[in-house]
Structure 1
Amino acid sequence: MSGDRFSLLIIGGYGTFGGRLARLLGDEPRLRLLVAGRSLEKADDFVADLRTPKDGAEGLGSNNLGAMVQAVAFDRDGDLIEQLTRLRPDLVVDASGPFQTFGKDAYKVVEACIGLGIDYADIADSTGFVAGIGGLDASAKAKGTFALSGLSSLPALSFAALDAMAPHFSRIDNVAAGIAPSPHVRIGLNVVRAIATYAGKPVAVLRNGRPASGRGLIDAMRVTVAPPGVTPLRSRKFLLVDAPDLALLPQNLADLKSSFTGVGTEPQPLQRLLSLAARLVRFRLLPSLLPLSRLLQRASHSFAIGEHRGGMFVRVGGLDHEGRRLTSGWHLIAEGDDGPFIPVIGVEALVRRLLTGVQPENGARPAAGELQLADFEAAFRRFSITSGIRMECEEARLPLYRQILGTAWERLPPAIAAMHAGGARVASGRAQVERGGGLLAGIVARVIGFPPAGEDVPVTVRFAIDGNKEIWTRDFGGKPFRSWQVEGQDRDRHLLTEVFGPFRVLMALTPDGQRLRLVVRGWRFLGIPLPMFLAPGGDTYEEERDGRFCFHVEIGGRLTGLVVRYTGWLVVEG
């Protein structure tokens, strides 16, 4: 350490990700934090802003600045030995980029750090850069230093998620990972430039166990990002991107047959235009999208439409230890502006480890496998970030609600879990039914068969199983109506689908204390998607009250007003 504090130099320290790293570590009194970049003026402005208290910023360095923070000029094209010797950092973190464009002297900063015995880490997302850093391994070991590349979402976090799921498999056949940024997050120019370098160009992937060439921002897969117990992101297509995982996965998984890494942006029509532009590069109508980077960035900022939520997934397929087909998925959702902190959380975890004396092994290598999922999850608690794992065995289907909820099933109160335990069963109890008074509400209620209004109405629900469906026959005082439920497929994946006559309603299952909420995420009439602002809404939930299963179902809409509301309790017979 330099003096009494650990000295950390962040190259690109006032940029999109370097600035967030500085905010994450700003509360650490054991740090001397050097915010570095080519412009000393911009670094000074950032540090001044960091020192200014801001309402609601607790935990991100602004209200509790304990680190010694200093703005410094640093030019990666200048005399690196002189600059590093003068600044005397214990650790250099490169948060600049785009690493894809560093050229023939790509590792000059790493080499300078190793030569001076300074530890190094970066958040590189360039396949070539991350995979190639191992060429400096011998010199790093000889100097007693470490150099970790790719300590970011891909590959550090993705490999941590993969490592958490791997023990469930006897063989892993395929791995896919993707990032879905919030449309309201202002993407940095370097991120856009990085993507533009390979748009429409060959990207090395695995197919059928053999090396193959994918097409950057053209090849796609559809995924619904859905952590257990959280309202999912809307289903979207992820376009193939060139990420370090594509090079590192075959080195770590001998039986791997296919690989994919992608980005899924909103709004999807804008992403389709980006994919069309990539096709122009593929067919050599454009040499590259790199000159259009600023235009692409402005377009992403101008069309910030959709939910202010972002996410990430890692999906693994293969065989379990009994030889059955198994799919496992780790999902993450970040609310609001919290998503862009994820790429630097791995570096934050590394720094906090170093401050406690936990040192990585010496040598230069990719950061895949360097951190565990628990390291990231501990940091997620400072944010509105939720993650979890889903397991799906094709030959041993779980009961419907347990299948959809995944690990969130364990949070259900016993009475709710018992009601959804699966199999044919009968439950009975009492209910109060209220009907809407509007003409359209009455028509909808009659079409579906909702019960008439009544107080203290005897109610019976019979559950039957038909393949992967649950058929619910509800009888309110001798007035039955039927619906059936199933897990959604394709774009409706991880949603509960309930069918009432010609209507199909898609709902997210979200545990909330003693309640299980059913949140409408879409609806259809005769298979035709209908606008969400007209969707049947209302406060619908199940809860445990005094050890008994209780329900509160409310169905209505902007056009109909209240259609029906029924509340009450049920007890499983037998």
Structure 2
Amino acid sequence: MSGESFSLLIIGGYGAFGGRLAQLLGEEPRLRLLIAGRSLEKADDFLADMRSPKGGAGRLGGNDLGARLQAVAFDRDGDLEEQLTRLRPDLVVDASGPFQTFRQDAYKVVQACIDLDIDYADLADSTGFVASIGELDAQAKAKGVFALSGLSSLPALSFAALEAMAPHFSRIESVAAGIAPSPHVKIGLNVVRAIASYAGKPVAVLREGRQAKGHGLIDEMRVTIAPPGAAPLASRIFLLVDAPDLALLPRRLNGLQSTFTGVGTEPQALQRLLSAAARLVRLRLLPSLLPFSRLVQAASHRFAIGDHRGGMFVRLGGLDRQGRKLNCGWHLVAEGDDGPFIPVIGVEALVRRLLEGRRPENGARPAAGELSLADFEAAFRRFSITSGIRLDREEEALPLYQRILGSAWERLPPALAAIHAGGARIATGRARIERGGGLLARLVARIFGFPPAAADVQVTVRFATDGDKEVWTRSFGNKSFQSWQAEGKARDRHLLVEVFGPFRVLLALVPEGDRLRLVVRGWRFFGIPLPLFLAPGGDTYEEERDGRFHFHVEIGGRLTGLVVRYTGWLRLEG
């Protein structure tokens, strides 16, 4: 400790990630936060914004009870010993970069910290930088300090997820991980430069248990990020990126056969253009995409199209404890502007541990496995972030809704779980039906056979199984209509598919307290995707009230207005 407070120097403290770390820690009165960068003016401006009630950080650190904030000039290419001796930090966090571009004296900041008995951590995502920091391990141990590299999404969070899933396996054969940033997040120039530095160039991966060459932003994998109980992100292609996990995983897992780390950005059309440019580098028609970094960044800002949601996944494949094939995935979805805080949550957790007197072991090493998934999840609660694990055993014959919900199935109230328990069954009850009055709404209702308006009518629902499908026959009085439901495949994975004739509606199952919401995520006509903003939708949910299953279903759209709304209750017969 320095005096009465813990002194934390954040290099790149007013940048995209350093600034967010300062926001997370700005409310902590035990801290002295040194916001550092080459420009003292920019550091001062950042702190002025933090202290402003209207600033994004003002909510966290702008009051008199928060951290002591100080802007300082810091040049990593200057006299590091003089600067660090003058500032006297207890911990240095390097949030600058891009670490991929560090060549000579790449570890000069780390070395200076070790020489001056200062602990060190960074947000590096460079494979070479993170994987080789262990060369300084003996020096750090001799000095009684720690130096942790890569305390970010990859590899710190990805390895925390891996460790949480590993007990399900007797052998892990494949590991894939990826990040899907929200298209509305302003990606920093250093991040773009880091990716551009290896676009189209060889990236070391494992294939069939052997070292192989992938190619940055060219090799691909399709993944649907879908935490149990949350609306999935749109299925997307992830392009290979050079992340520390690729070097660290073979050290951690004996017998590992394949590895992949990727990024999946929206809009996908822009990502395909970037991949095409990477192919020009591979063909040696371009030396590098680095000169185009500003153009790529500007294009990502200009074409910010899609939901303001981001996510991350870690997927394992192998054998379970009984020797059966098992796939297991950890999924995360972050809403709105909360996603960009994820890369700095690991450092925040480290700092709070230090304030409680819990130090990591001395030495220099990658941060993979340094924090547990529980450490991250505790921080996620401050944000609109949902995460969870899905187990996929092909031989398990689980009910349809249980397969889609995964572990979120356990959160369903008993009345809802009973209705969706699978198998042939009959439920009866009462319903109120409202119909839209527009010409197009009446035409749609007639085509699908929706029942007429009624204040109180007998309702019977017959459930039948047909292979992996459930057939629902709904009878309101003497009027019946039918649909079938199944689990989505390929790009529709983790969604409920409900089919009415030539129309296929894709629904996310989202538990909310005693309710299960059905949220429309897409629709098709004879397999042809249709615009989501024209999709039939409305406020549709199931809930338990007084121990009984209740339903509230709305079907309508922008063109039709309300088509039908039926509400009521059901109970299982027999």
TM class, shorter-length: over 0.9
CA RMSD, Structure 1 to Structure 2 (Å):
1.4
For 1:294-309, what aligned pairs fall within 5 Å after superposition? 294-309=294-309
For residues 434 and 53 of structure 1, the distance between their equivalents in structure 2, rounded to whole angstroms, comes to 48
Q: Which residue of 1 is the match for residue 394 of structure 2?
A: 394
For 1:56-71, what aligned pairs fall within 5 Å after superposition? 60-63=60-63, 66-71=66-71
Q: Which residue of 1 is the match for residue 269 of structure 2?
A: 269
Residue pair 1:488, 1:497 contacting (<8 A) in 2 also: yes
For 1:465-544, what aligned pairs fall within 5 Å after superposition? 465-544=465-544
Residue pair 1:429, 1:568 contacting (<8 A) in 2 also: yes
For residues 283 and 392 of structure 1, the distance between their equivalents in structure 2, rounded to whole angstroms, comes to 39
Q: Which residue of 2 is the match for residue 284 of structure 1?
A: 284
For residues 2 and 215 of structure 1, the distance between their equivalents in structure 2, rounded to whole angstroms, comes to 47
Question: How many Å apart are 1:454 and its aligned residue?
Answer: 2.7
For residues 546 and 58 of structure 1, the distance between their equivalents in structure 2, rounded to whole angstroms, comes to 44
Superimposed CA distance per residue, residues 417-448 of structure 1 (whole angstroms, 9 cap, x where no aligned partner): 11111222111112222233333333322332
Change in Cα spacing, 1:258 to 1:65, as seen in structure 2 (3 Å) is farther
SS in 2 for 1:162: helix
Question: How many Å apart are 1:453 and its aligned residue?
Answer: 2.8
Letter in 1 for 2:488: G
For residues 419 and 329 of structure 1, the distance between their equivalents in structure 2, rounded to whole angstroms, comes to 27
For 1:140-539, what aligned pairs fall within 5 Å after superposition? 140-539=140-539
Superimposed CA distance per residue, residues 185-239 of structure 1 (whole angstroms, 9 cap, x where no aligned partner): 1111100000000000111111111111111001111111111111111111111
For 1:133-144, what aligned pairs fall within 5 Å after superposition? 133-144=133-144
For residues 274 and 80 of structure 1, the distance between their equivalents in structure 2, rounded to whole angstroms, comes to 38
Q: Which residue of 1 is the match for residue 552 of structure 2?
A: 552
Change in Cα spacing, 1:249 to 1:59, as seen in structure 2 (3 Å) is farther
SS in 1 for 2:50: helix
Letter in 1 for 2:378: A
For residues 55 and 81 of structure 2, the distance between their equivalents in structure 1, rounded to whole angstroms, comes to 41
Q: Which moved more, 1:424-433 or 1:527-536?
A: 424-433
In the alignment, structure 1 residue 9 sits paired with structure 2 residue 41 = no
For residues 4 and 433 of structure 2, the distance between their equivalents in structure 1, rounded to whole angstroms, comes to 70
Question: How many Å apart are 1:462 and its aligned residue?
Answer: 1.5
For residues 434 and 304 of structure 1, the distance between their equivalents in structure 2, rounded to whole angstroms, comes to 39
Residue pair 1:517, 1:542 contacting (<8 A) in 2 also: yes
Question: How many Å apart are 1:179 and its aligned residue?
Answer: 0.6
For residues 84 and 522 of structure 2, the distance between their equivalents in structure 1, rounded to whole angstroms, comes to 56
Q: Which residue of 2 is the match for residue 125 of structure 1?
A: 125
Q: Which residue of 2 is the match for residue 102 of structure 1?
A: 102
For residues 220 and 65 of structure 1, the distance between their equivalents in structure 2, rounded to whole angstroms, comes to 48
Residue pair 1:447, 1:501 contacting (<8 A) in 2 also: no
Residue pair 2:50, 2:57 contacting (<8 A) in 1 also: no
Q: Which residue of 2 is the match for residue 34 of structure 1?
A: 34
SS in 1 for 2:173: strand
For residues 14 and 442 of structure 1, the distance between their equivalents in structure 2, rounded to whole angstroms, comes to 58
Letter in 1 for 2:486: V
Question: How many Å apart are 1:558 and its aligned residue?
Answer: 1.9
Q: Which moved more, 1:482-491 or 1:343-352?
A: 482-491
Letter in 2 for 1:2: S
Question: How many Å apart are 1:339 and its aligned residue?
Answer: 1.0
Structure 1 residue ranges without an equivalent (≥5): none
* TM-score w.r.t. length of structure 2: 0.98
Question: How many Å apart are 1:64 and its aligned residue?
Answer: 6.3
Residue pair 1:23, 1:62 contacting (<8 A) in 2 also: no
Question: How many Å apart are 1:59 and its aligned residue?
Answer: 5.6
Change in Cα spacing, 1:453 to 1:51, as seen in structure 2 (3 Å) is closer
SS in 2 for 1:60: helix
Letter in 1 for 2:335: E
Superimposed CA distance per residue, residues 267-307 of structure 1 (whole angstroms, 9 cap, x where no aligned partner): 11111111111111111110000011111111111111111
Q: Among the aligned pairs, what percent are the same residue?
A: 81
SS in 2 for 1:358: coil
Alignment coverage as a number of residue pairs:
574
Runs of 4+ in 1 over 6 A off after TM superposition: none
Residue pair 2:163, 2:369 contacting (<8 A) in 1 also: yes
Residue pair 1:324, 1:394 contacting (<8 A) in 2 also: no
Question: How many Å apart are 1:314 and its aligned residue?
Answer: 0.9
For residues 27 and 436 of structure 1, the distance between their equivalents in structure 2, rounded to whole angstroms, comes to 52
Residue pair 1:26, 1:64 contacting (<8 A) in 2 also: no
SS in 2 for 1:194: helix
Change in Cα spacing, 1:513 to 1:57, as seen in structure 2 (3 Å) is farther
For residues 445 and 313 of structure 2, the distance between their equivalents in structure 1, rounded to whole angstroms, comes to 40
Residue pair 1:217, 1:274 contacting (<8 A) in 2 also: yes
Residue pair 1:24, 1:59 contacting (<8 A) in 2 also: no
Letter in 2 for 1:33: L
For residues 347 and 59 of structure 1, the distance between their equivalents in structure 2, rounded to whole angstroms, comes to 20
Superimposed CA distance per residue, residues 128-162 of structure 1 (whole angstroms, 9 cap, x where no aligned partner): 00000011111111111110000000000011111
Question: How many Å apart are 1:552 and its aligned residue?
Answer: 1.2
For residues 526 and 421 of structure 2, the distance between their equivalents in structure 1, rounded to whole angstroms, comes to 30
Question: How many Å apart are 1:169 and its aligned residue?
Answer: 1.1
Superimposed CA distance per residue, residues 287-333 of structure 1 (whole angstroms, 9 cap, x where no aligned partner): 00001111111111111111111111111111111222221111111
For residues 362 and 330 of structure 2, the distance between their equivalents in structure 1, rounded to whole angstroms, comes to 30
Question: How many Å apart are 1:337 and its aligned residue?
Answer: 1.1
SS in 2 for 1:417: helix
For residues 56 and 95 of structure 1, the distance between their equivalents in structure 2, rounded to whole angstroms, comes to 19
Residue pair 2:49, 2:55 contacting (<8 A) in 1 also: no
Residue pair 2:23, 2:57 contacting (<8 A) in 1 also: no
